[in-house]
Every structure is written in structure tokens, then in C-alpha cells.
A and B are shown apart, each in its own frame.
Chain A
Amino acid sequence: MISQSMRNSLLLAAGVLAAGSALAAGADLGNTTKQATNWVAIAMFGIFVAVTLGITKWAAARTKSAADFYTAGGGITGFQNGMAIAGDYMSAASFLGISGLVFANGFDGLIFSIGWLVGWPVITFLMAERLRNLGKFTFADVAAYRFAQVPMRSFAATGSLVVVAFYMIAQMVGAGQLIKVLFGLEYTVAVIIVGVLMMCYVLFGGMTATTWVQIIKAIMLLTGATFMALAVLFQFGFNPEALFAKAVEVHSKHQAIMAPGALIKDPVSAISVGMALMFGTAGLPHILMRFFTVPSAKEARKSVGWATTWIGYFYILTFIIGFGAIVMLTQDPAAYYVPKMVDGVQAVGADGKPVWDGLRGGGNMAAIHLSNAVGGNVFLGFISAVAFATILAVVAGLTLSGASAVSHDLYATVFKHGNADSASELRVSKITTVCLGIIAVFLGIAFEKENVAYMVMLAFAIACSANFPVLFMSVLWKDCTTKGAVAGGIVGLVLSVGLTILSASVWEAVLKNPKGSAWFPYSSPALFSMTAAFLVIYLVSKMDNSAQAKLERSLYPAQKVRSETGLGAATASGH
């Protein structure tokens, strides 16, 4: 039976699934059943909800214009924004998925941690300050700076919405599955709670509330993970070698957990997945949008410096947590493992010891069980509430960026040709937020029983093949034209989606074609789709000799002065 748990684990490993489902499935050993209602966790989460709704009420009073809604008035500091970016980026998939992967396979979890981090220097070196200097509310402001507004904005909004949609479905389904396990709530109830809460944050509090939800979540997640890692290291006198030695002793794979395993199969997949992660981060609309909330390029750089620091630190913690789970959960197997049953009684190994069949609640529960092992029921409740808060912070960021793509790019620029007033733009954002919330809940319910494991990687592949090349070339290459950028972006979008459908993760795992029948043999399309997008942008722009193209090229020097010096950059506030 392809159990719920399998799907659940695939999904949470989703973040992680680059290596294909074989490995993610390997991380999954137990059953996901609805757990007994966890009142401590619900109470902790209730406190989080009460605090964040209080902040939303406070933020609502300050969200009067479209600028407040999109960028919190532009008054967020670099440090705050760095925390919020970390809160936007560190998902439940990376927390539970990576620690679960380390628990199951050891070393391989580290490879993922690194992959999820290396996009940040790219954003820092190439994008952060230029984004801040050229943009106002959305990354389309930057991409369309000197280009024909209607085609560029339409393309950029499409790119944003497609990325948001795939990312959102993965988060919603993950939320439902996770909350079912952690809180003992029904899947549908969980998805509706997530949908309603995120809608409240964004609808009433806009970017201000979203930012603070993300900051609070980041602090909770970092505090909880730090405590767990310290508790683990404390047991081993802060000597990692002692921790690893014990883990190797008790893990069924022994010394193999200290070396790379099956995660990286062929070099082409390795490079391709690496590209999706490295350049995809610089094309995620909900991340890019955060750079417009700070007052200057200097603060934008500070934000990304802090974000990288916190995210990197967090990934080191997940590695320690995974190893800690290997050691500490085996000390009390009856509490955390499912007994392996043979003919109604627990099987007994050749050594006379009882045999266990994987973690209760599935392979992604390693960090959750560890929280119970190191801090008892109250800390378990805290970490469960953190996991819930984590999902909320991410989906709120996604909803906000989806709503701004619709209201700022499509409504105000494409339909109203830039003549929409702030009030009507704000109204459209709010209507869109409600629509997106409802759509997200429906998709979450519709996809409950589907395999959505490929969706996060697909979102990254699209971001790096469609959004990133267009943004990069429009800002850094003077000969780029509207036609080139739009053509290249569309090629990147179509190829990344098409090749993903033809790869094993969709062709075999979702469409149920026989194993080995997938046409596209690699784990990610990025190497091909991103290269193709750049090539098409280059060739089409080179061939474009229209009057419009000449005008666009002539506008480049002024754009460059602004992107490099910040001269004339949008100021913080729309008041």
C-alpha cells in the first residue's frame, strides 16, 4: 500500500526530493495515522495565533496604501528583514525533511542543507542591491524597468503565479498531513485553519503583519532547534566525534551513515539539481519581494547577510538534530518506534532483542520525537507549534507575492496601464488575497491523496529557468530587449515544466507509467531549461532590430546608473 505516510514523507522530504523518490521513500518507515489530540501543542499554537493576530490588528491600522500593503511602507530594518527572509525560507520541509533524512541516511542530509543555502550568495553578489535600487513592489518592476510594460509584466506575473501555485500546493498538503500527525486534527480542518489564518494575516495586515509573523516564526524555530542541538551535544560533552561514534554504533547502516550514499547518482543530475537550487532562490517571487521592504540598498545587503547567516546556522543545527535523533530515539524504542509485527506479535531478532519497524508517524518525525526525548511533553508541544507556525509564515509570504503579482502587475499595469490609484490597487490586492486563500484551501484538499513530492523542486526549476534569466539579463545586459526576454522566459517556463512531467518524479510516480519509462532521465531540468532560456534571450535580443528594441537599448545607461548607485530609487514610503 502506498500509504499516507509514504506520501507524507515524500512531501516533507519534498524540499529534499531532488534525489528522486527512491531516497525519500527510504526515509519513510512508519505509518502516518491521525494521532491523539495533543492539547499542549494546541495550547502553544493558540498562543502563537493570538499573538500574531494581535500584531495583525496593529498592522492593519498602519496598512492604508498599496505601498503599505506590499512593502510595509519600506521601513523594515536590514536585521529585521534578514530574520523575516529566514522565516520566509526555512520551511517545515527543510526542518523535518532534512533532519529526517539525516536520521535515515546520515551524511546525505548534509548535501541537501548545502544545496538549500548556496542560492544566497548569488542573490547577494548579483541581485540584492540592484533589486532594491530598481524595484518598488514586485520583481516585475525590475524586469520591466526599461521594457514594454504589458508583455513583460504579463510574463513576470505568470512566472510568479506559477511558482507560487506549485510551492503553495506543496505547503498546503504538507500542512494538512503534518498537522494531522502533530495535533490530531482532521486533514481538511487543518488545511482550512492554515488557509483562514494566512488570509487574515495578509488581508488585514499586509506586508507588516506577514513580516512579523515570519520574524516570530524564525525566532521560535531557531530557538527550538538551538535548544535541541545543545541538548544533544551536551550529552556527548560537546564532542561531535563521540556523537558520531554512538550514532554509527546504533544505526542499522553503521559506518555507511558517515559517507555519501545513493543521493547523488549521476553527475548531470547533481549539477542540474545544484543549478535549480543555486539560481532558483534568486527567482522566487516571495523572497525577491522582501527586498523592497527596506529603505536602501545598504539595508538590502544587510538583510541578505543576516538571512544567509541564520539559514546556514539553522542547517548546521538540523544536521546535529538528525544525528541526535539516531542516538537518543534508540535509547527508548518503545516510545518512538512502531513494533515490527509478525503474526500479531512483535518480531524478535537473532540477538533476542525485539525488532522495530521505523518511527511512529513516519520518517519525518525524527525531530519531533527528539524534542520529546530532550524536553518532554511541553517542549514537544512547543516544537509542534513551531512546525505549524513555520508553514503559516511561508504560505503568508506566498499569498502576498501572488496577490501583488495580480494587483500591481496585472491589474494596475496591464489592465489600467499604470493609471490605477492606490486605493483601487489595494482593493484588488485584498480581493485577490481572499481568492488565493480559497483556491489554496481547495487545492490543498484536492491534492490530499496526490503525490506532490515533485512540486517544490519544480517551483525552483521554474524560478531559475523563467524568472531568474529574465531578471538577470534585463538588469545586466544592455542589448536585452522585450522580445528576447519574453521569448526566453517562456522557453524556460515551458521546458522546465515539460521536462519535469517527462521525468521519473512525475511520469512514473504521479502518472503511474512503468518504472524506467520516463523520457527525461535526470532529477532536475534546470541545466537544460535555464541554459535554453539564456540562449533564447540572447539570440532573440540580438536579432531584434525594431524601433522598440533601439529605444530599450538607449534606456540602458540610465537604468544602469540607477541600479548601481541607487540614484532616484523608490523611497521608502507611499504616504
Chain B
Amino acid sequence: MANDDIVARIEANPKYHELVSKRTSYSIFMSILMIIAYYGYILLIAFNKEWLGTPLAPGMVMTIGIPLGVGVIVFTIAITNVYVRKANSDFDEMTAEVIKEANQK
């Protein structure tokens, strides 16, 4: 089957392995960042409620926990879109190249 041929050629192309390892390490790195942000916040709540409940500045009502919490939401949105942008430009270019080379040979 022609497709098996192409698969074999892609497998033999070092660029393919570079793509996979680069994208995989990037997504693992991003996942770890997200896990740190989320579980960090949750564990902070579990172990140090007082600190999160401290006012941002003397005389203020807003506590440290509020901008931090909203920050986790904003961070989640940001990190997702950063990944999507990078994958849709850099990684997709590499992918297109790998497929093109496999079809040429």
C-alpha cells in the first residue's frame, strides 16, 4: 500500500523525530506549568488559608487570594492560546515539510 511507503519514509526522516520530540517536550512543559499553577493554588488553600485571606495592602478589602485566583484563570487562557499559536505556526510548518518530503522522494 502506498500509504505504508509514506509512513516508512516519514519514520526514516529525522525531521519527523525532531518534530515529535520538540512538540512532545513543549506540551509536557506546558502541562507541568499548568499543573504547578493549579495544584499550587489548591494546596495553598488547603495549607495556608490565612495568607490568601490577607488584605493586599493595609486598609484594603481585597485579599491576596483574589488576584491570584483570577490570575490562575487568566494564566490558563493565556497558556492555552500560546500553545495553540505555536503549534499552528512552527509545528505545523515542520509537519507540512515532513509530509512534503515524504511525498517527493
Contacts and interface: CB of A to CB of B under 8 A. Distances in A.
Contacts of A561: 7, 10-11, 16
Nearest to B26: A125
Nearest to A125: B27
Interface string A243-275: 011001000000100111001101100110010
Interface in B18-50: 19-20, 23, 27-28, 30-31, 34-35, 38-39, 41-43, 45-47, 49-50
A316 B73 CA distance: 8
A184 interface: no
Contacts of B19: 564-565
User: How extensive is the interface on chain B, given as a class?
Assistant: 35 or more
Nearest to A309: B77
Contacts of B65: 107, 110, 258-260
Contacts of A263: 45
A304 B84 contact: yes
A91 interface: no
B16 to A, nearest CB: 7
Given A120-B76, A125-B31, A264-B46, A319 B20 contact: no
Interface residues of A, number: 53
A258 B61 contact: yes
Contact of A305 (B16, B49, B84): B84
Contact of B42 (A248, A264, A301, A313): A264
Contact of B62 (A124, A244, A266, A278): A244
B39 A274 contact: yes
Given A258-B66, A568-B3, A111 B45 contact: yes
Given A312-B74, A313-B77, A260 B31 contact: no
A124 B80 contact: yes
Given A114-B38, A122-B31, A270 B43 contact: yes
Contact of B34 (A121, A271, A564): A121
B62 A241 contact: yes
A290 interface: no
Contact of A565 (B4, B16, B62): B16
B66 to A, nearest CB: 7
Nearest to A124: B80
Contacts of B60: 241
A126 interface: yes
A278 B38 contact: yes
Interface string A486-506: 000000000000000000000
Contacts of B87: 129, 301
A308 B38 contact: no
A107 B63 CA distance: 10
Interface in A116-163: 117-118, 120-122, 124-126, 129
A246 B56 CA distance: 17
Contact of A245 (B6, B27, B61): B61
A557 interface: yes
Contacts of A107: 53, 63, 65-66, 69
Contact of A564 (B20, B30, B53): B20
Nearest to B56: A241
> DSSP class of A's interface residues: helix, strand, loop or mixed?
helix
A126 B38 contact: no
Contact of A124 (B6, B7, B84): B84
Contact of A567 (B7, B41, B53): B7
A302 to B, nearest CB: 6
A274 B38 contact: yes
A254 to B, nearest CB: 10
B53 A565 contact: no
Nearest to B74: A312
B52 A260 contact: yes
Given A260-B52, A301-B88, A118 B38 contact: yes
B39 A271 contact: yes
A564 B27 CA distance: 13
Interface string A562-574: 0011111000000
Interface string A277-310: 0100000000000000000011001101100110
A312 B73 CA distance: 6
B73 A117 contact: yes
Interface string B74-105: 10110111011101100010010011001000
Interface string A452-478: 000000000000000000000000000
Contact of A110 (B27, B30, B69): B69
B38 A267 contact: no
Contacts of B49: 259-260
Contacts of A129: 87
Contacts of B61: 241, 244-245, 248, 255, 258
5 contacts: A111-B45, A125-B27, A302-B88, A308-B80, A567-B99
Across the A-B interface, the 7 shortest Cβ-Cβ residue pairs: A259-B53, A305-B84, A125-B27, A312-B77, A267-B46, A308-B80, A110-B69
